Amino acid sequence: MKVDFNKFYMGVDGEALKDPKDEKINMGKNLSNHLCGATAGIEPAKAMDWARQLYKGEPIEIDKTDLKKLTEFIKTLQIGNLVLDQLLSICDIEEIE
């Protein structure tokens, strides 16, 4: 299955979240940066492959087992609920199928 994180984080007001440079924050690029660090449960080569694809705005091809690993990894990130919820909603297996 393909999972596409090439979206912008949205604030509670429905507007795209922006970084200090006033640029919209892309979910895939943000997740890509996290995947470049330690990824317990995900093989380093696989994490880096996903990171490269996400940074370029491409969807990642992933099976259910790896999607569960990615979901568990995302849950460990030290990020706010606003963005965490949006990342996890993309990983919702029932919605992807």
> How much is the pLDDT for 95?
57
The mean pLDDT of the chain is 93
Average pLDDT over residues 60-76: 95
pLDDT digits (tens, 9 = 90+) for 70-82: 999 999 999 999 9
> What's the confidence (pLDDT) of residue 40?
85
- CA 71, CA 76: separation in Å to the nearest integer? 9
DSSP letters of 6-45? -SB-B-TTSSBPB-TTSPBPBHHHHHHHHHTS--TTS-HH
pTM, two decimals, is: 0.90
Q: Which domain holds residue 79?
A: 2-96
Burial state string for 4-15 with b = 16 or more CB within 10 A and e = fewer than 16: ebeebbbeeeee
Burial, 80: exposed, middle or buried (Cβ in 10 Å; 0-12, 13-18, 19+)?
exposed
Query: In Å, how far from its chain's centre is CA 68?
Result: 13
What's the total number of domains in the chain?
1
Is residue 67's pLDDT more than 60? yes
Q: Taking 70 as the threshold, does the pLDDT of residue 93 lie above it?
A: no
